[in-house]
Structure 1
Amino acid sequence: MRVSRTVRRRRRLAVAGLGVGLVLLGLGSACSPFPQVSATDQTQPPGSTAPAPSPTAAAKPAAAPAPVLKPVRKGPVPNPDRVAKAIERVGSPKAELGAVVEEVFTGKELYDHDGDEPVLPASTLKLLTSAAALAALGPDHEFTTRVVNGAKGQVILVGGGDPYLTDKAVPDSYPVRGSIDDLAAQTARKLRKSGQTTIKLGYDASLFSGRAWNATWPGNYSDQVTPTSALWVNEGRHQGAPRDSDPAKAAAQAFAKALERHKISVTKISTQKAAAKAKPLASVSSMPVERIVEQVLLTSDNDGAEVLFRHLAVAAGEPGSIDEAQDEIKKLLTGLKAWDKKTEVHDGSGLSRENRVPAEVLVAVLRAAASDDHPELRAVLTGLPVAGAEGTLRSRFTDPAAEDGIGFVRGKTGTLTGVQSLAGIVRTEDGALLAYAFIINEPKDEWLAREWVAKASTALARCGCK
C-alpha cells in the first residue's frame, strides 16, 4: 500500500526524540506503597502462648516500566560524498557561504565550504556567548539583586546583572524570575520592623563598568538592544517603547513605586555606590544560568546575551566592561577548543557588523556542548529552537522543500542585513547526529538565502547517507 508523504512525515514526527542526550525514563520502585511490619515489631498480649507469626515474604520489586523514549545512540557515520550531494541538490545560495557539517561524536568532517573563513555570523554568535557563560559560571549559578543599608535614612538597590528581573512576580511560573515587587515586600517588612516608613533610595549598577553602548553598534539599533546595565527591570523596557535610555534609573523608579505600594515613602532617588560591607536588607535571585541561556537562544534575546557577555569578565574577577568580556570569551572558548585566530568577537549578541566567526568555530561549540566532557554546556543544545515549532524557527521551514525538517532540525538563527545564518544539530534518517553551520553573507536575495539554510538543514535530516 502506498503511504502519502505527509503521513510518512507525521509518523516520523511521532517517534522522533528531539532532545540530545536527554532520555526520559519511567522510574520503577522496589518499595511497596504500604509499610510492612517486621516480625520483631509484632507483639503478643502478656502471658499469651500463641506462636509468633511467620515472617512475611518480602514483596518482589516492581518491574521498571519501559523507557518513554529509547536512549540516544550513535548512528552510522554518514558518507561525506553523499552528504555533499544532498546539500548540493538544494542548489547554490548565490552568495558568500561558510558551511561545515560534522558528525557529533567522532568529529568527522562531512561537508566543508570555506568553513575556516571568517564571516559575519549575526545572531549565531550567541552560541559562543552562551557556551562561554556556562563554562565560566556553571549552569546552576544565579544572579542576586540586593537591597542594603546606605547612609542614615537611605537604602540602596544593588544590581547583580539579572537579565530577566521583572517588575511583578508571576505566580506559579517556571522558571521563577526575581521580581522588584518581591524585593520591595521584603524590604518594607524590614523597614517597618525598625520603625522606618520614609526613606531615600540609592541605586548601584557598578557591577558592569565602561561603556553601556557598544561602539560598533549603529545608533539606529536602539530599537534592537537596550544600553547594557547590571540593573534593569523587564529587560530595560518597563516604560514602553522603545527602550529605557537609562535602565538603572528606571529600575530604581520602579522599585520606589513598589515600595510605596508596600507603604514605604521614597523622598529622593539618586545613584549611590553601596559599601562592600553594607548591611543586607533583602534579595531576590535570578533563574539559573542554564535557563537564561535557553531563553536567550530560543528567542534570540540581544539584551540577555549582552548581560551574559559582561558576566564573563565579572566571573574572572575583572571589571565588567566590553573590553574585558572580549578578552575572556577568547580565553574560555580556547579552553573549549572552539576558537580560531581569525575569530573576532565585539559583542555578545551578534549585532556588531565587525564580528567575524568561521563556520567551523560554531560547529566546534555545538560538538563541545554535546560531548560527555562538557555536561555543563548542555543548555546550548536544549535552548536551540525546533524547526516549525518554537522560538525563532516557529514560523520558518514553510517551503515544501523544507517541510521535512519540521520537528527534526534544531538551530540558532542569525539575521542582519546581508546575513542569513543557521547553526545547530540534526539527526539524519539513518540515525546519525550532526552538527552544522550555514552562514550566508551578501546574498543577491535575502529571502532566498533564508530559505536556502532551511532547505540545506532539511537535506541533512532527510539524508540516508551511510
Structure 2
Amino acid sequence: MPNPDTPRPPPSPLQHTVPEVSDMAAADRPPYGVSQRPRRRRRRLVVTGVVVAAVVVAAGGVTAYETGRLADWLGDGDAAPVADTVPGYTAPAAPTPGVVARPARVGAGDAAAVRSALAEPLEDSDLFDLRAVVAPLSGPALLDVGHGTSMPASTLKLLTTTAALETLGPDHTFATRVVAGPRHGIVLVGGGDPFLEGARPPTGVAHDDASLQALAFKTARQLGANGTRSVRLSYDDSLFTGPRVNPHWPATYIPDDVVSPITALWADEGRNPSGYGRVADPPATAAAIFATYLRQDGVRVAPAVGQATARAGAPELARVTSPPLADIVERILLVSDNEGAEVLARQVGLAVDGEGSFAGGVSGVRTTLTRLGIDLDGATIEDGSGLSRDDRVAAETLVDVLQLASSPAHADLRSVISGLPVAAYDGSLGDRFDDSPGRGYVRAKTGTLHGTSALAGLSTDARGRVLVFAFVSNHVNGADTLDTRAALDRLASALATCRC
C-alpha cells in the first residue's frame, strides 16, 4: 500500500488500456464512421461485488482505466475560456498492461478523513458558491458542502446519457434510411443518428459505415439492380418535432456557432462541409450532400430536392446504422458533445412519451431517472446538454447518478463511467491535472459556462477505494474561470491522496 505522504509517480498514458484510436481529422468533422471505430468490446468488470471503471494495479499501485473513444473537439458552449474544448490529437497506442490488476477496495470510507483531506482545498478563495459532495460507491455522502441546486453546465450530460442507456439499452442503434417515394422518387429518412457523417472516414474502405457517402453507394447499387438510373429525391426529418433551437438557450448560441439546430437528419452534426461554422438548415444540407454522392455513383438526381414525409410501409432501398448507443454515450461524455446529448434527449422523449422535442426529451429524462430512484425534487432541466443557463441540479443528484451507473445492478449504464475522461490523459481532461497527484487517478465529467465550473466523477484514493464526487462552483467571475477550474482539480486530487 503506498504511503500517502510519498507522492505517487504519475501513471504513463501507456499504462492505460486503450482501444484502437484513429488519427484526428484535420477538418472539424469528427471522424466517426463504422469503418474507423474500434470493434465493439464487452466491458470486462474487474471489481468483485462492485462495478467501476477504476482498478488498482498491483505493480506500484498505479490505477488503470478503460477509456472511451477519442473524438473531435467540442466545447461546452458559452464558456470563456472554453474549458471543455479538446484539440484533436493522436492518442498513443497502448498495449495491454503486463501487470495483474486487482480489485479496487470497496468500503464505506472515513468521513473524517475525507473532511480532513479536503479542508485546505475547500478554503480556496477561487471556489465561489460551492456545492461539494463526496460519497463511496454506494451509500450516503461522506462530505456535503453547500445546499440547494446550482447550474450544472455540461455535467447535466450525465443525466441525459444515463436516461438514454436505461430507456434504449446499450446496444441500441439508429438507422438512416432511403425508402421508395412516389413518381420515381426516393426519400432520405433521418433516424436521429447523432454522429451520421457526410463523407466516409478518410481511412475507411468499407461500405457499411454510418455516412451519407456509404448510404448513397448502397442506394445506387439497389437502384441499379431495379433498373432505375434517374430519381427525384426528397428528405424526411419528421422524427423530431418542435423548435430546432431550444428557447432556453441564449439567442447568440446559433449565430455564434456554439451549437447546431437540433434535427433528426444532418451530416457531421450540422457543421459546414467547408469546415467552418454550421449550416442554417442541416436536413436540407444533408440531402444535398447525399444527392452529390448519388450522382457520383451514376444516378441522375433531379435538381429540386424538397422536404417530404415518407409513407408508412414504403419499401426500404438502403440503410446505414450508427455505432451502438454505449459507444455514442462514451463519445458524448469524453468530449462533452452538446449536439449528441441533445439528440439523445429527444430519443429518450420518443421512447418514453412518443415526443421527440426538447420538452419531450426533458420529460422523458425526468421520468426515467425518477423511476430509477434519482431524486429530482427542486431540479430544473431545460435541455439535454447543460447549455441552458436555466438548468439547476443538486450536486447530490450528480453523485446519485454516478453511484447508480457504477452499481452491479445496472450494468447497462456502465458507459456513463467508462466514457468519463481520465485526468491528464484524454477528452476534456486531457489538458488538466498535469503534475498533479490526481493524474490518472481521477476521471470525471467537466462542465463550464460563464459563471460556472463543475467536475463530477470518480477518484481512487490512497487506500485503493473508489470515491464518487461532484464539485460545482457558481457565480464565478469571468477572469477567475481558469483559477476556479484549477481549484476544482485540486479538490479531486486531494481525494486521490486521501487514505479515506
Which segment is superposed worse, 423-432 or 316-325? 316-325
Structure 2 residue aligned with 1:132: 163
Q: 1:254 aligns with which of 285, 289, 302?
A: 289
| Aligned partner of 2:342 among 306, 331, 348 | 306
Give, in whole Å, the separation in 2 of the partners of 1:113 and 1:207.
43
Query: Contact 1:338 / 1:362 at 8 angstroms: preserved in 2?
Result: no
Kept in 1, the 8 Å contact 2:54–2:104? The answer is no
Q: C-alpha offsets along residues 424-454 of structure 1, whole Å, 9 cap, x if unaligned? A: 0111010111110000001242222111110
Contact 1:293 1:380 in 2 (8 A): yes
Residue 363 of structure 1 is matched in structure 2 by 399
Aligned to 2:474: 441
Which amino acid is 2:289 matched to?
A: A
Assess if the C-alpha contact under 8 Å between 1:207 and 1:320 holds in 2: yes
Matched, 1:88 2:119: yes
1:29-40 to 2 correspondence within 5 Å? Answer: none
Q: Which moved more, 1:329-338 or 1:152-161?
A: 329-338
Residue identity opposite 2:267 in structure 1: V
- TM-superposed deviation, 1:173: 9.4
1:9 is aligned to 2:9: yes
Q: Displacement of 1:201 after TM fit?
A: 0.5
Q: Deviations over 1:9-56 (max 9, x none)?
A: 1479887899864699xxxxxxxxxxxxxxxxxxxxxxxxxxxxxxxx
Q: Assess if the C-alpha contact under 8 Å between 1:165 and 1:177 holds in 2.
A: no
Q: CA deviation at 1:196?
A: 1.5
Q: Does 1:351 align with 2:380?
A: no
Distance 1:196 1:71 in 2: 61
For 1:9, the aligned partner's letter is: P
Percent sequence identity is 40
Q: What amino acid sits opposite 1:348 in the alignment?
A: G
Verify: 1:151 aligned to 2:182, yes or no. yes
2:457 equivalent to 1:424? yes
- Give the structure with higher Rg (CA): 1
Q: CA, structure 1 residues 392+11, in 2 after alignment: closer, same or farther (shift >3 Å)?
A: closer
- Asked if residue 97 in structure 1 is aligned to residue 134 in structure 2, the reply is no
Paired residues of 1:146 and 1:159 also in contact (CA < 8 A): yes
Cα distance in 1 between the residues matched to 2:120 and 2:353: 50
**Distance (Å, rounded) in 1 between the aligned partners of 2:496 and 2:222:** 58
Q: CA deviation at 1:315?
A: 1.2
Provide the C-alpha distance between the structure 2 equivalents of 1:395 and 1:6, rounded to a whole number of angstroms: 24
Q: Distance in 2 between matches of 1:23 and 1:413?
A: 18
> Where do residues 204-283 of structure 1 align in structure 2 (5 Å cutoff)?
204-222=236-254, 223-239=257-273, 240-267=275-302, 268-283=304-319
Which shifted more, 246-255 or 214-223?
Answer: 214-223
Counterpart secondary structure, 2:453 = strand
Check whether the contact 1:23–1:71 (CA below 8 A) recurs between aligned residues.
no
* Cα distance change on mapping 1:69 and 1:248 into 2, 3 Å: farther
Letter in 1 for 2:495: L
Q: Distance in 2 between matches of 1:207 and 1:430?
A: 50
Whether 1:293 and 2:324 are equivalent positions in the alignment is: no
| Partner SS, residue 388 of structure 1 | coil
Once the two structures are TM-superposed, the CA of residue 69 in structure 1 deviates from its matched residue by: 3.6
Return the match for 1:181 from 213, 216, 223.
213
Q: Which runs of 4+ in 1 moved over 2 A?
A: 5-8, 10-24, 66-78, 91-94, 168-174, 238-241
Instruction: Describe how 1:13-24 pairs up with structure 2 within 5 A.
Output: 21=52
Instruction: Say if 2:176 is the partner of 1:141.
Output: no
Gaps of 5+ in 2: 19-45, 56-96
What TM-score, normalized to structure 2? 0.79
Q: Distance in 1 between matches of 2:249 and 2:497?
A: 39
Q: Do the aligned residues in 2 keep the contact of 1:313 with 1:325 (CA within 8 Å)?
A: yes
Letter in 2 for 1:422: L
Render the CA deviation track for 1:64-102: whole Å, top value 9, x for unaligned: xx9954342433432112211211211334410111110
* Distance in 1, Cα, partners of 2:205 & 2:457: 28
**Equivalent pair of 2:10/2:439 in contact (CA under 8 Å):** no
8 Å CA contact 1:17–1:69 kept in 2: the answer is no
Pair 1:375 & 2:407 matched: no
CA RMSD across the alignment: 2.4
TM-superposed CA distance for 1:6, in Å, is: 9.5
Question: Does residue 450 of structure 1 match 2:466?
Answer: no
Aligned-residue offset at 1:8: 3.5
* Correspondence 1:404-415 to 2 at 5 A: 404-415=437-448
Q: How far apart, in 1, do the equivalents of 2:145 and 2:376 lie? A: 17
Alpha-carbon contact 2:237-2:264 (below 8 Å) kept? yes
Change (3 A) 1:6 1:241: farther
Looking at structure 1, the residues matched to 17 and 120 of structure 2 have their Cα atoms a distance apart, in angstroms, of 27
Which letter maps to 2:163?
A
Q: 1:173 to 1:163 in 2, by over 3 A?
A: farther
Question: Is 384-393 or 93-102 further displaced after alignment?
Answer: 93-102
Equivalences for residues 159-174 of structure 1 within 5 A: 159-170=190-201, 171=203
Alignment-derived partner of residue 32 in structure 1: none
User: TM-score if structure 1 supplies the norm length?
Assistant: 0.84
Give, as a single letter, the amino acid of the residue that structure 1 aligns with 2:235. Y
Query: For residue 440 of structure 1, what is the amino acid of its counterpart?
Result: S
Which residues of structure 1 form unaligned runs of 5+? 25-65
Looking at structure 2, the residues matched to 185 and 339 of structure 1 have their Cα atoms a distance apart, in angstroms, of: 48
Residues 11, 440 of structure 2: 8 Å contact kept: no
Deviations 1:96-126 (A, max 9, x none): 0111110003x13111012x51100000000
Instruction: Report if aligned partners of 2:195, 2:269 keep a CA contact under 8 Å in 1.
Output: yes
Which residue in the other structure is 1:39 paired with?
none
**Alpha carbons 1:236, 1:244 under 8 Å: kept:** yes
8 Å Cα contact 2:219/2:317 also seen in 1: yes
